[in-house]
Structure 1
Amino acid sequence: MIGMCAASLFIGADGFAYPFQGNYSDLTISHHPNFMWIRESLARWGVVPLWSPLILSGYPFSANPLSSLFYPPAWLLWVLPLPFGYHLVSGLHLLLGGWGTARLVRRTTANPIAAWVGACLFVLMPKVAAHIGAGHLTLVWAVCWTPWLMEWVEQARGQARFHWQPNLMVGMGLGLAALADVRWAAYCGLYMAVMYGWSALQGITSSRKAGGKAVLDAAWVLAKGASVQVGLAAAAAAAVLLPLGEYSRLSTRAAMSGADRLAFSLEPGRLLNLVVPNFGGYAEWIFYPGIMAVFLAWVGVFSQSNQRQKWIWAAVYVFALMFSLGDRLPLARVLGELPGLNLLRVPARALFFADLAVIVLAAIGLSGLLMEPPHKSRWLNLTLAAWGGTLGVFGLGMAAAVRPVPAAFVWAGVLGIVCALLIFLRLYGKIRPLPWLGIVFLVILGDLLLNQRSLMRYRTEIEVAREGAAAAQYLAAKPGIFRIYSPSYSIPQHSAAAYRLELADGVDPLQWDAYAEFFDSASGVPRSRYGVTLPPFAEGEPAAANRFYTPNAERLGRLNVRYVAAEYPLDAEGLILDRVIGTTWIYENTLACPRAWVESAESPDCTAGSKAVRWVRREPNQIWLEVQGPGLLVISEMDYPGWQVIVDGAAAEEKTAEGVFRSVKLTSGTHTVQWVYRPTWVYAGGVISILSLAGAVFGLMVTRKEPGNG
């Protein structure tokens, strides 16, 4: 049944997932081009690419978490047919998340039926569907590890003495979440800090009567466990964390303001979406868990069993909801400056924890209602009646008074009355458990499936491939090595990757700061704050947002931009109209530099020295040139840390030209020049990750044989 629920997301999935009301998806903007580049590198050169020339005039691919190079389940996408592979890998992760939710619920309530329903609630969660539609693959994959991590945290918190096994499991779980999406691992770390902080307070309180030694012992167990967990998680994710740390420090993200870090905070008015579905809404603000789940969770709060657990999960829900409000709360910007927390650019993603808390509380409530005889509470009866009555009156009143009829409010009103009646029927024993359970599950299924379908859609592979294809195909037929710039995103990144075109612009959360500054002067489009696009699109659709800015052809030329594609005419010195294809104006840059040239002390002209360079080999992680000296060999490639230059078989001193380009001084004669990308932090991180994960697996095998080992 859980598998059928997971499959519901991919029924009719004959293409790429998109938001129901949106034209852009991170799947086709970032993930699909990245996997195409990995597959091409493996097929053509037999190497795993550590550098990518696809966007931003080249960037450290291995330092970008969106490359998924170091997340083992993503390796399936190196060989599976696409886009089918995306659906399969995401579906397997949903099954993993559902299974983990069932285990988490079983730890809270021993009822297997409640665990099974909780798993289905996770798999059918509208927020998961919304993020799949938005193309946030790595986030969804990481979230699916979260129920497992939460269950392992509960095991570790419950130990009176230190044991290796639960702490190793928590460390591995957090490490795997970080390998999937390091940003989500920061949310998990915040959750763990809150839970262990609560455990510390409980331990101190309960141990106070036993004396100071008991307090110290409890604190030592907690501190030792937390150290093992965090240390193992950091080591397991070192392949991502070390290169990312270097890249982040050098990127535009390092200059993010407090306002940037709290972007996409939940608006207080959207708290209503707990019980009113946000049909077709924005993924970050979705947190509707289903009205039946909310009602069951409310019953769980009044349950006489699981007293300690229910209040923990209620507290998790309240904390997650408050955190999601971001800049609406005092001290939020101060917290946003703390190491690790500065990764939490979207506070509303904490709503995943709110939904998980509702699921666990709903399972507690469901378990209680399935028991004989059911427990009745006067306050529960009154509040349930108030919930159902308010939703019914408000929803049906909106239907009568507002035009057009707000479907979400009507749905909430009708379903609220139905859910309240069903719970009252069970509370007073008017219906037997199994028939009641069947009706409840059908209500949950209908509610959440309808929400899923309102939050995502699939665009066919042919439809997506057509975007910018005519212009991309035309430019791909041009001879030589060159880049393209589009101030209007006329050639989407997936189309550029499909036709092996290289872009000077790009969409990515990480951008090398030195390059961004150079690009600002080339594009003529100013940046006022942190953004994920270069150039920025300040307002409206990208097709028209930058129409009033004039590019600098000479500066673009230094980036080897030979062609500019725009959805509007351009009037810039150095650009001549080449052709209009559909709605796209294609200009040739007469001031374009070759990809590599030799400058003399007398003349820095890039075209005069272009004939002195012959390309021998060009691969993802290295390039070979045959160059006639003397002079300064400049290559229009980013001089990012990790690139090493070898001249005639010997290491040479690399220089940085114009603040961004790689260059090297050559003497007279013909030289063989090799640039090799050997990122130290990537290699070091990879070794640390492999050794730590292998060590953790060995440790788990040993502690399974000796469960009492402390």
Structure 2
Amino acid sequence: MLTTSDQRGYLAYSSLLVAFATPLLLLLPFLWDGSSSFLLFQDAQDQTYAWWQKLAHGWNAGYLPLWDANIYSGRSFAGEIQASVYYPLTWLWLVLFAQDGSMPRLAIELSIVLHFSIASSTMWCLLRHWKFAPAAALFGALSFALMGPVAERAAAQPNIFFGLCWLPLAVQFASLHVESGRTRFALAAGAVIGLQVLSGHAQPAIHTALLCGVLCSYFHWRREPTHYQRLRAIARSGAPMIAALVLVALPQLLLSMEYLSDAYRWVGPDPIGPGESVPYRIFSRDFSVAPMQLWSLIDPWRVRWIDNNTLHLSVLGLLMIAMISARKTWRERLKQLLPHWPWMLVVSVFALLAMLGHLTPLAHILRKLPVLGQIRQLGRYAILFQFCFCVFAVAAFTVLQQSVVEGRRQAAAIVALMATGVLASSLYLAGGLSKSSIFTLLLALATLATLLNTFLRRRLFAPMALAALLCSAWLYRPLTLPAAGSSPLPEQAFAELTVLAPVLADYGQARIILDESTGLPKNYADAHSMQSRLGHSATMYRPYFDFLAIDWSLNSEINDLLNMRYVLTRNELDLPLLGRDEARKLNLYQRPSAYPRLFLASRYGDAAHSAPESLTLEHYDDHRIEFRFSLTNADTVVVSELTYPGWCAFLNDQPTAIHNAVLGGREIPLRAIKAPPGDHRLRFEYRPFAARIGGCS
């Protein structure tokens, strides 16, 4: 016979299993039948889907791609950070699902759904660590994972979503650290934040570090008697966290700092250079929240926030917090249950003021700070509000479940619930509320009505609250998981085109200009063996952009030097036509003026005869390029590949220096190698870490 302790243990493990399994059961059926997809929006298709194809291609070829030869005429793949190259779950997925140089869409979707389960499970573990009952922890875990800015981020920028899912685990380790004083928990918190960096974006790590920093500072400030001791204690907590963060994320940090130190960022129509501040208008206005948009807490189906930052964490949770706030004895009970409430309340107010942008002075202050000033979308501070809101809702859940409502207060509560229901129905009839919001609100009111009867409260409140939450999550699902139809599925958008067969055959020997009129994804080349002039990402290597900006016209010499031999467009051009896709109305043209991938500086100005004798391409992939050619006289060989730190050159197996090419008296960011007469084998290898430590010898 099971003891009471055993029964409690099974109940806890069962609730954890439900927390993990619910997102799978809620989301997977709609992905399996193709009716919905997380990969419909531009960032999700052009970055997540396309870069998974690049990862799978490199993995199947025997390497983990750190350089991307397919877009922007070559770029740092890992340095852009959002490709998640060093994320351990990326490696696991490559082992399990990469096949024939590609990653199936369903495998990518499964990775996203798995992170919903991670978000729910990590939040459950944190709430259980803070001594909440399994049912209450389950309520908070599902609220955190299935609604609000965490869930909506999955379809907008999955790489940011991946990082957000680990946030509760880092907070739990920070909480364990301040409770026990053990350094190992501070190291664990920093390691989780480092994992967030590896998952594909710095913003989740910054937001999590804010939470952990405020948590530790609050408790040290309360415990230590003097300012000096407080600051020393805070430093003792922060130092191991920072050390672990840097150690875990070091490969990513090295490549990202190297790349971003000389890259433009796109935060508006115009790029900003390294170290430049985001323009105040963009920082404080473009992605902030108007006060009326806070109505999304009640009706997210009608009121949406820009960039998927909509605040909605269940109407039931909101009403429970409102009920607790209305009664002093309940507020005191909440404070006893949640000793973290002061710092979480401060964080909630801070997040709300940050989201309001230019409407408060906080935006001006944040823009001046060295790290926070680089987060251009103030609406993304919604994650801090969501986290704290979920914890407060769980505390309110617990207080209400354990409280008794006296007869006089029962009558007042009944009147309040009925009045709220009538008001909500009136707003719905007047067009002020959507059908989904009125349903969830009435369901929440019915759940709260169980509190008025002691018998019902003890037996039905928890299951009814969880049922109401799941109904809300079900209605919220279309906002989290968009329906396919309005946008093509990524495998359709990235489908291989027969007309591009000549381009695929010339991989490593010619590049293509994919005109915007084609309607193809901007990172189309990443999913195929082709190389394009441009792509889609938040950044671009500055020397390359400056080189293109000399002349953006189609027939520019810049395109010639970049080996742009092909053009795909819907327009009619005065160029030799190589093929036509009648179904899509696409024309493939050839640019005869393009220089070959390798040419001689002495023959600059004569593209048709600029290649050395017996030029052959022996090997070409992201990390290794090999040519063979012969020279009658000593010359400078120009290779239409970007000069970039970490690339090493070997002429006849001997290390040789790479210089920026100088053509027509102008220095350009293409590789130039001096070579004597004779037969030569020229090899380039990308060695970002070895070159940094020991050079190219």
Deviation for aligned residue 1:360? 0.9
Matched residue of 1:367: which SS? helix
> Could you tell me how far apart the structure 2 residues matched to 1:315 and 1:124 are?
25
What secondary structure sits across from 1:627 in the alignment?
Answer: strand
2:318 corresponds to 1:288: no
Task: Tell me the equivalent position of 2:254.
Answer: 242
Task: Give the direction of change, closer, same or farther, for the CA distance of 1:492–1:655 in structure 2 (3 Å limit).
Answer: same
Structure-2 separation of matches of 1:91 and 1:333: 37
Confirm whether residue 347 of structure 1 aligns to residue 359 of structure 2: no
Residue 80 of structure 2: aligned partner = 64
Task: Go from structure 1 to structure 2 and tell me whether the alpha carbon gap of 1:517 and 1:428 turns closer, same or farther (over 3 Å shift).
Answer: same
Q: Give the whole-Å Cα distance in 1 for the aligned partners of 2:408 and 2:166.
A: 36
How many angstroms apart in 2 are the aligned matches of 1:645 and 1:346? Answer: 41
| Displacement after TM superposition at 1:386 (Å) | 6.7
1:229 to 235, 241, 252: 241
| Consecutive unaligned residues in structure 2, runs of 5 or more | 1-17, 98-103, 266-273, 662-666
Contact persistence 1:300–1:310 (CA under 8 A): no
1:185 Cα deviation after fit:
0.8
Contact 1:323 1:347 (8 Å CA) reproduced = yes
Query: Distance between the aligned counterparts of 1:362 and 1:343, measured in 2?
Result: 31
| Residue 192 (1) aligns with residue 212 (2) | yes
Q: What amino acid sits opposite 2:638 in the alignment?
A: V
Q: In 2, distance between residues paired with 1:660 and 1:382?
A: 75
- Is the alpha carbon distance of 1:12 and 1:418 closer, same or farther for their aligned partners in structure 2, counting shifts above 3 Å? closer
Contact 1:76 1:89 in 2 (8 A): no
Deviation at 1:182, TM superposition (A): 2.3
Partner of 2:668: 659
> 1:279: how far off?
5.5
Indicate the residue corresponding to 1:492 in structure 2.
Answer: 521
Matched, 1:174 2:159: no
Kindly indicate whether the alpha-carbon contact (under 8 Å) linking 2:347 and 2:388 is maintained by their aligned counterparts in 1.
yes
- Over residues 13-61 of structure 1, what are the superposed CA-to-partner deviations in whole Å (9 max), with x where a residue is unaligned? 13889779x95343321122222222222323x2222211121111011
CA distance in 1 between counterparts of 2:385 and 2:482 reads: 25
1:647 counterpart letter in structure 2: L
1:611-690 matches, within 5 Å, as 611-612=612-613, 613-629=615-631, 630-657=634-661, 658-680=667-689
Aligned residue in 1 for 2:119: 97
Partner in structure 2 of residue 130 of structure 1: 152
Cα drift, residue 367 of structure 1: 1.0
* Conserved 8 A contact 1:187-1:344: no
Match of 1:47 in 2: 63
The structure whose RCO (Cα within 8 Å, separation 6+) is larger is 1
Match of 1:64, SS?
A: coil
In the alignment, the residues of structure 2 paired with residue 227 and residue 387 of structure 1 have an alpha-carbon distance, to the nearest angstrom, of 50
SS of 2:568 mapped into structure 1: strand
What is the distance in 1 between the residues matched to 2:565 and 2:511?
6
Distance 1:329 1:566, change over 3 A: farther
The one of 144, 167, 174 aligned to 1:153: 174
Tell me the residue number matched to 1:274: 297
TM-score under structure 1 length normalisation? 0.81
Equivalent residue number for residue 49 of structure 2: 32
Distance 2:412 2:207 in 1: 36
Report if the CA contact (8 A) 1:265-1:346 is conserved.
yes
Q: CA, structure 1 residues 464+101, in 2 after alignment: closer, same or farther (shift >3 Å)?
A: closer
Structure-2 change in CA distance of 1:19 and 1:348 (3 Å):
farther
Check the 8 A contact 2:565/2:591 in 1, yes or no. Answer: yes
- The total of aligned residue pairs comes to 636
- TM-score computed with the length of structure 2 as normaliser: 0.83
Structure 1 position 683, deviation (Å): 7.4
**Residue 361 of structure 1 corresponds to which residue in structure 2?**
392
State how far apart, in whole Å, the 2-side matches of 1:317 and 1:391 are.
28
Equivalent position SS for 1:505 = coil
Structure 1 equivalent of residue 332 of structure 2: 304
Contact 2:207-2:384 within 8 A present in 1 as well: no
- Do the aligned partners of 1:300 and 1:363 also contact (CA within 8 Å) in 2? no
Q: CA deviation at 1:203?
A: 4.0
Query: Does structure 1 conserve the Cα–Cα contact (< 8 Å) formed by 2:40 and 2:489?
Result: no
Sort the Cα spacing of 1:388 and 1:596 in 2 relative to 1 into closer, same or farther, 3 A.
Answer: farther
Deviation at 1:291, TM superposition (A): 0.4
Match status 1:466 vs 2:492: yes
Instruction: Note the C-alpha offset of 1:661.
Output: 0.9
In the alignment, which residue of structure 1 is the partner of 2:28? 10
SS in 1 for 2:31: coil
Question: Hey, what's the Cα distance between the residues in 1 that align with 2:404 and 2:417?
Answer: 24
SS of residue in 2 equivalent to 1:265:
coil
- CA distance, structure 2, for counterparts of residue 412 and residue 228 of structure 1: 46
CA shift for structure 1 position 334: 4.6
CA distance in 2, matches of 1:420, 1:274: 16
Q: Contact 1:17–1:133 (CA<8 Å) still a contact in 2?
A: no
Aligned residue for 2:636, secondary structure, equals strand
Give the SS at the match of 1:507.
Answer: coil
Q: 1:131 to 1:618 in 2, by over 3 A?
A: same
Structure-to-structure mapping, 1:583-598, within 5 angstroms: 583-598=585-600
How far does residue 644 in structure 1 lie from its aligned partner after superposition?
1.6
Q: Match for 1:663: what amino acid?
A: A
SS in 2 for 1:252: strand
More displaced stretch, 287-296 vs 489-498: 489-498
Structure 1 pair 506–14 and aligned structure 2 pair: CA distance change class (3 A): same
What is the CA distance between 1:280 and its match in structure 2?
9.1
Alignment of 1:491-640 (within 5 A): 491-493=520-522, 495-524=524-553, 551-567=554-570, 569=571, 579=580, 581=582, 582-600=584-602, 603-612=604-613, 613-629=615-631, 630-640=634-644
Quote the offset at 1:492 in angstroms: 2.0
Which is further off, 182-191 or 637-646? Answer: 182-191
Quote the sequence identity (%): 20
Q: Aligned to 2:136, which of 114, 139, 156?
A: 114
SS where residue 634 of structure 1 aligns? strand
Distance 2:380 2:668 in 1: 37
The 1:97/1:614 distance shift into structure 2, 3 A limit, reads same
Note closer, same or farther for the CA distance 1:654–1:244 as it changes in structure 2 (3 Å cut): same
C-alpha contact 1:576 1:590 (8 A) present in aligned 2 = no
**How many Å apart are 1:95 and its aligned residue?**
2.5
* Counterpart code for 1:511: M
Q: Is the 8 A contact 1:109 1:306 kept in 2?
A: no
Contact 2:192 2:245 in 1 (8 A): yes
Q: Is the 8 A contact 1:579 1:587 kept in 2?
A: no
In the aligned structure 2, how far is the partner of 1:413 from the partner of 1:294? 14
Which whole-Å CA distance do the structure 1 matches of 2:363 and 2:546 have between them? 30
The separation in 1 between residues aligned to 2:691 and 2:243, in whole angstroms, is 18
Letter in 1 for 2:244: L
Name the SS for the 1:295 alignment partner: helix
Which secondary structure does the structure 2 equivalent of 1:80 belong to? Answer: helix
1:438 equivalenced with 2:468 (yes/no): no
Q: CA deviation at 1:197?
A: 4.1
